[in-house]
Amino acid sequence: MPIGDKKREERLEEEVFNKLVDGSDAALHAHNEAHQAASQVEPGGYYRYVDSEPEHHNDFLTTYDDVVAEVDSDAPTRTLWSDAWGRLKKNRLAIIGACWIIFMVIIALTADLWAQQLLGSPTAIDTGTAAATQLQPPSLEHPFGTDSVGRDVLVRVIYGARVSLSVGVIATAISTVIGLVMGAIAAFYGGIWDTLIMRLADIFLAFPYTLFVIAMLAVIGNGIQNVFIAIGVLGWPSIARVFRSAILSVKENDYVDAARAMGASDGRIITRHIFPNSVASIVVYATMNIGGAILTESALSFLGMGVVPPNPSWGIMIQDGQQYLATEPWLMLMPGIAILTTVLAFTLVGDGLRDALDVKMKDA
Amino acid sequence: MPDTSTVAEATQTPVYADDVSELDPSQRGNDPLLHVEHLVKEFPVSSSIFRRGKKRSVHAVNDVSFDIYPEETFGLVGESGCGKSTTGRCLMRLINPTSGTVVFNGEDVSNMKGKQLKGLRHDMQYVFQDPYASLNPRMTIGELISEPMYIHNEGGTNEERIDTVRQLLKVVGLNPEHINRYPHEFSGGQRQRIGIARAFALHPKLIICDEPVSALDVSIQAQVLNLLDELQQEFGTAYLFIAHDLSVVQHISDRVAVMYLGSICEMSDWRSLYAEPCHPYSQALLSAVPVADPDLQRSRERIILAGDPPSPIDPPSGCLFHTRCPIAQEICSKEKPELREIEPGHFCACHFAKPFPIEGSSIKL
C-alpha cells in the first residue's frame, strides 16, 4: 500500500471493514457456537487462559487476510518511477522550473500562429518606418520595446527561444547518445577499451570547451545545424564519464551476478539490468546539460559564430544591444532574462530529478 | 586441463559413497551429481611500481575436493574469507577457477563455453546472500521470477509462465497477488523467498545457497531454512549450503565440510562431525557455540584460538592451521596433512586427528 496515500488508505480500511461486517455474521455465529460447545464440555472454559488461539479463531484470521488481499490486489503498484514522480511533485522549485520550461516550449511552438500577427516579423526590416519605430522603450504595443532597426524585441525573444530550446535539446541528445555508447563500452568491456575511451575523453576535456567549439565551427562553418553538431559532438566526454561510473557501480551489484548465473547474455544484462539502474544519473545530467548548451549557443551567437543575422537568437540580441546598454537597457536585458530564466529552470528541474531519482531518499 | 578419460574415471568411482552410513539409502552407490577435484583459485595481487619481481597472489581456494550427491545437502562452513563463496562461484563459473576439475552431471564444467555454459546455468542455480542486492530494483516480482524461463525460453507462453510464477509464489509462501510489485515493497525474508522461488523456476538439479540466511534475523532464518527443506523434499534438488553459522548448517545439512584458509580440513556426515570433531579447528569452532545452560557455559572448558588467520597471500608452510593449533608439533610446519579417512565417511586433514567429543554441547544430535 502506498505510504502517505491517505485517501487510498482510508478507502481500503473502509472496504475491508465493510466486507468483514458483511461476511462475518456466519463466522461470528460459528465462533459463538464453538465457545458454547467448549463451555458445555468444560465449565468455565470460556474464560480459561489458553496457550494458543482456539482453532476456530483461524476462520477470522483468514477472513481478514483474504479480504485485505482481495481489496489490496487491485491496487496499482508503485514503480520506482511513480515514486520518483511523487517526490518530484513535492519539490516546489523543480515544479516551477518545469512549468517555465513547458511555458517556453508552448510559446516557441505556437509562435507562428499569433506572434507575427500581433508583433510583426522578427527578421524583416521595414526601411520606410524603421526611423520612426526604432529604439522605442517598452510599451503596450511593444511590451519589450523595439531594437535599433525598429523590430519588436518580444517577438525576437520568442523566435530566439526556438533556437535556444532546439539547440539545448538536439545538442544534448547528440552528446548523450555518443556519451552513452562510449561510457557503456568503457565500463562494460574495461581494459584497453576503457583506457582508450577515457584518455580520449581526457583529451577533449583538456581544451577550453567554448574555444574548442569555436575552433570546430571555424572548420565546418557557421550556421545553426553546425552549432548543433559542434556543441553535441564536443559534449560527450562528461556524459561518458558519468555513465561509465554509474555502470561501474551498478555492475558490482549481486543482481548482475544473479543474471549471469541464470545464463543471461551480455546484451540482456546491459539492457535489462545495468541500463535501467544507471539511467537515472544520465537523465539528471542531460537535463542540466541542456541549460549548458543554451548558454554555449548564446555565447557563440554573441561572438558571431552561431546563428546568422537577421535570424534572432538571444546571444545575437545581447550582442546587438550592448552598444545601447546605457541608454536603452531593455535591448540587452530582455534576452538576458530569457537566458537566465531558461537555464535556471533546467538546472532546477535537473536538481529536483536528482533528488527524486535517488533510491536512498525513498523513505525520506 | 585433465583429459576426458580421467574425468570419466573420477565420476565412476565415488570415493566413499558406499561407506556413508548416514546417507539416505537411495543415495548410496549413486554417482555424484557434482564432483570437485583439486579446485584452486588464486587472485593476482597487483604489484606496485616499486616492488616488481615475484608475482604474488591470494590463495582463495586451495586444493579443494568434494562430491555432492543427488538430493543431498552439503554444508560448507568456515569463517569469513576462508574461500567458501569463492568455491561456490567457481562451480558456476561466475569466477573462472585457476586449476582443478569440476564435473557436474558427468560433464566437465571448467572449459564450458556459450551454449554448454548456459545449459549448466539451467541445471545449477544460485541463491545469494544479500536479498537486498540480488534482486533488480527496477523489475517486478513476476519479471524477476520468470526471467530464468525467458532466458532459457522455457515454460510455454507468457500466460503459462505467469501461472508458473504464481504457483512458485504460493509454494514459497508469498501472496500470488503481489506478482506486479517491486522488490522494495518486501521485507528481507520475503525477498529471500523471491530469490529462492527464482532459483527453483527451472527445477535445477543443484542450488548453491551462498549464506542465504545470514542477512536475516533469527526467526526469519528458521522459516527460510524450513522452506528450503520443504522444497528439497518436493523437488529433489541438491544443495550446496554455504554458511558461517554452525547451527544453521547443522539444521539443514546431510554432510558438512569445514574450510580453513581455502582448504577443507574436515568433512563428514553432520552427526559424526558435530558429535566427534577430529580436526582441532573444527573442535575449536564447535566449542565456541554457546551453551544454553549458563552454569555450564561458565564452567566448561573452551578451546580459544590465539591470533588471527594468516594472510592468504602467503599461507603458512605445512599444515595451514599449525600457526594457531593447540596440538601442533614439529611435523605440522613441514608436511601438509592430506585429507584422509579416519572413520568410514569421516575425512580429516590433520596429522594427529582423533575424535574429540564436545563437552556439554547444546547441539541436539
Q: What is the rounded average pLDDT of the residues B229-243?
A: 92
Look at residue B196 and tell me if it is in a domain. no
**What is the predicted pLDDT for the residue at A8?**
59
Helix (H) or strand (E) holding A34: helix A6-41
A263-317: pLDDT as tens digits:
888 888 888 888 888 888 888 889 889 988 999 988 888 888 888 888 888 988 8
Number of domains in chain A: 2
Q: Are A146 and A133 spatial neighbours (Cβ–Cβ below 8 Å)?
A: yes
* Beta strand B107-108 pairing with B56-68: unpaired
Residues of chain B neighbouring A359 (CB-CB closer than 8 A): 137, 184
The cell for B208 is 548453491
The cell for B177 is 497477488
Look at residue A198 and tell me if it is in a domain. yes
User: What Rg do the C-alpha atoms of chain A give, in angstroms?
Assistant: 32
The verdict on pTM exceeding 0.90 is: no
Give the lowest-confidence range in A214-218, A360-364, B290-294.
A360-364
* DSSP E strands, chain A: none
Look at residue A109 and tell me if it is in a domain. yes
Look at residue B314 and tell me if it is in a domain. yes
One-letter amino acid of B258: V
**Higher confidence at residue A327 or residue A19?**
A327
Domain span at residue B365 reads 278-365
Confidence bin at A234 (pLDDT 50/70/90) = very high
Is pLDDT of A231 > 60?
A: yes
Q: What is the CATH number of the domain that holds A162?
A: 1.10.3720.10
**What is the predicted pLDDT for the residue at A48?**
42
Is pLDDT of B260 > 70?
A: yes
The residue of chain A with its CA nearest to that of B204 is A262
Give the position of cell 503498484: A77
Of A263, A268, A277, the CB nearest to B137: A277
Residues of chain A neighbouring B175 (CB-CB closer than 8 A): 69, 73
For A148, residues 6+ apart whose C-beta sits below 8 A from its C-beta are: A134, A135, A320, A324, A331
Rounded Cα distance between B248 and A146, Å, is 83
Residues of chain B neighbouring A66 (CB-CB closer than 8 A): none
Looking at the fold, whether A50 and A186 belong to one and the same domain comes out as no
**What is the predicted pLDDT for the residue at A356?**
84
Mean pLDDT across chain A, nearest whole number? 79
Is pLDDT of A96 > 90?
A: yes
Angle at which helix B218-235 crosses helix B188-200, to 10 degrees, equals 10
Is omega for the bond preceding B290 within 30 degrees of 0, making it cis?
no
Residue A272's alpha-carbon distances to A255, A265, A327, B181, B253, in angstroms, are 11, 10, 60, 17, 36
Burial class (CB in 10 A: 0-12, 13-18, 19+), A47: exposed
Beta bridge partners of B67: B35
Confidence bin at A161 (pLDDT 50/70/90) = very high
Domain span at residue A12 reads 6-77
Helix (H) or strand (E) holding B362: none
| Chosen domain end from A22, A47, A77 | A77
Report how many Cβ contacts below 8 Å link chain A to chain B: 76
Choose among A192, A294, A185: nearest CA to A240: A185
Is pLDDT of B276 > 60?
A: yes
**What is the predicted pLDDT for the residue at A241?**
93
Q: Which own/partner contact pairs does B110-113 have at CB distance under 8 Å and 24+ positions apart? A: B110/B1, B111/B1
Look at residue B365 and tell me if it is in a domain. yes
Rounded Cα distance between B13 and B214, Å, is 35
The cell for B263 is 582448504
Rounded Cα distance between B145 and B152, Å, is 13
**What is the predicted pLDDT for the residue at B215?**
83
CA distance A239 to chain B (A): 22
Q: What is the rounded average pLDDT of the residues B226-249?
A: 90
Confidence bin at B343 (pLDDT 50/70/90) = confident
Looking at the fold, whether A202 and A54 belong to one and the same domain comes out as no
Is pLDDT of A348 > 90?
A: yes
**What is the predicted pLDDT for the residue at B189?**
87
Looking at the fold, whether A89 and A132 belong to one and the same domain comes out as yes
Confidence bin at A355 (pLDDT 50/70/90) = confident
Q: What is the rounded average pLDDT of the residues B68-73?
A: 91
**Higher confidence at residue A47 or residue A288?**
A288
CA torsion sign, B297 to B299 to B300 to B305? Answer: positive
Residue contact A77–B182, C-beta within 8 A: yes
Predicted ipTM?
0.79
Residue contact B134–A277, C-beta within 8 A: no
Mutate to test the interface with B, among A254, A273, A281 (most CBs of B within 10 A): A254
Q: Are B170 and B211 spatial neighbours (Cβ–Cβ below 8 Å)?
A: no
| Chosen domain end from A77, A99, A130 | A77
**What is the predicted pLDDT for the residue at A44?**
44
Looking at the fold, whether A94 and A66 belong to one and the same domain comes out as no
Give the position of cell 497477488: B177
Rounded Cα distance between B324 and B308, Å, is 8
Rounded Cα distance between A186 and A247, Å, is 10
Question: Within an 8 Å CB–CB cutoff, is residue B185 touching chain A?
Answer: yes
A312-340: pLDDT as tens digits:
889 888 888 888 888 888 888 999 999 99
Q: What is the rounded average pLDDT of the residues B129-144?
A: 88
Q: What is the rounded average pLDDT of the residues B229-235?
A: 90
Residue contact A261–B118, C-beta within 8 A: no
CA distance A254 to chain B (A): 4
Mean pLDDT across chain B, nearest whole number? 83
Number of domains in chain B: 1
Rounded Cα distance between B193 and B63, Å, is 33
**What is the predicted pLDDT for the residue at A37?**
56
Of A72, A255, A263, the CB nearest to B135: A255
Residue B71's alpha-carbon distances to A356, B168, B345, in angstroms, are 48, 20, 18
Cα A251 to chain centroid, rounded:
24
Looking at the fold, whether A39 and A129 belong to one and the same domain comes out as no
**How many helices and strands in chain B, by DSSP H and E?**
12, 12
Q: How many residues does chain B have?
A: 365
Residue contact A253–B94, C-beta within 8 A: no
**What is the predicted pLDDT for the residue at B228?**
92
**What is the predicted pLDDT for the residue at A9?**
60
Residues of chain B neighbouring A362 (CB-CB closer than 8 A): 184
Confidence bin at B336 (pLDDT 50/70/90) = confident
**What is the phi/psi pair of residue B73, to 5°?**
-115, 120
Is pLDDT of A213 > 60?
A: yes
Look at residue B353 and tell me if it is in a domain. yes
Choose among B241, B271, B277, B203: nearest CA to B23: B271
Confidence bin at B272 (pLDDT 50/70/90) = confident
Look at residue A1 and tell me if it is in a domain. no
Residue contact B185–A359, C-beta within 8 A: no
Q: Are A210 and A231 spatial neighbours (Cβ–Cβ below 8 Å)?
A: no
What percent of chain A stands above pLDDT 90?
Answer: 27
Looking at the fold, whether A198 and A89 belong to one and the same domain comes out as yes
**What is the predicted pLDDT for the residue at B365?**
58
* Beta strand B255-260 pairing with B263-269: antiparallel
Greatest alpha-carbon pair distance for chain B in Å reads: 68
**What is the predicted pLDDT for the residue at A104?**
93
One-letter amino acid of A171: A
Most confident stretch, A98-102, A132-136, B150-154: A98-102
Mutate to test the interface with A, among B127, B136, B143, B214 (most CBs of A within 10 A): B136
Is pLDDT of A35 > 60?
A: no
**What is the phi/psi pair of residue A350, to 5°?**
-60, -45
Cα B323 to chain centroid, rounded:
26
Confidence bin at A111 (pLDDT 50/70/90) = confident
Q: What is the rounded average pLDDT of the residues A225-243?
A: 91
Question: Within an 8 Å CB–CB cutoff, is residue B147 touching chain A?
Answer: yes
Confidence bin at B345 (pLDDT 50/70/90) = confident
Angle at which helix A236-251 crosses helix A224-234, to 10 degrees, equals 40
Is pLDDT of A363 > 80?
A: no
Q: How many CB atoms lie within 10 A of CB B286?
A: 22
Confidence bin at B259 (pLDDT 50/70/90) = very high
Looking at the fold, whether A298 and A187 belong to one and the same domain comes out as yes
* Beta strand B73-77 pairing with B255-260: parallel
Q: Are A237 and B111 spatial neighbours (Cβ–Cβ below 8 Å)?
A: no
Is pLDDT of B29 > 90?
A: no
Give the lowest-confidence range in A143-152, B273-282, B351-360.
B351-360
Q: Are A174 and A289 spatial neighbours (Cβ–Cβ below 8 Å)?
A: no
Looking at the fold, whether A268 and A145 belong to one and the same domain comes out as yes
Q: What is the rounded average pLDDT of the residues B146-175?
A: 90
Q: Is B33 helix (H, G, I), strand (E, B) or coil?
A: coil
Q: Is B133 helix (H, G, I), strand (E, B) or coil?
A: coil
Burial class (CB in 10 A: 0-12, 13-18, 19+), A35: middle
**What is the predicted pLDDT for the residue at B75?**
93
End-to-end CA distance of chain B: 42
**What is the predicted pLDDT for the residue at A330?**
86
Is pLDDT of B80 > 50?
A: yes
Is pLDDT of A73 > 80?
A: no
What percent of chain B stands above pLDDT 90?
Answer: 28
Give the lowest-confidence range in A59-63, A133-137, B169-173, B299-303.
A59-63
| Chosen domain end from A77, A99, A116 | A77
The cell for B297 is 557455559
B109-134: pLDDT as tens digits:
888 888 888 889 999 999 998 888 89
Rounded Cα distance between B33 and B205, Å, is 8
Look at residue A143 and tell me if it is in a domain. yes
Confidence bin at B54 (pLDDT 50/70/90) = low
Look at residue A128 and tell me if it is in a domain. yes
**What is the predicted pLDDT for the residue at A16?**
61
Look at residue B218 and tell me if it is in a domain. no
Helix (H) or strand (E) holding B321: none
Looking at the fold, whether A29 and A178 belong to one and the same domain comes out as no
Is pLDDT of A202 > 60?
A: yes
Choose among A178, A182, A184: nearest CA to A199: A182
Confidence bin at B145 (pLDDT 50/70/90) = very high
Question: Within an 8 Å CB–CB cutoff, is residue B139 touching chain A?
Answer: yes
Is pLDDT of B176 > 70?
A: yes
Look at residue A276 and tell me if it is in a domain. yes
Look at residue B56 and tell me if it is in a domain. no
Residue A329's alpha-carbon distances to A150, A158, A336, B277, in angstroms, are 15, 18, 11, 92
Rounded Cα distance between B256 and B87, Å, is 15
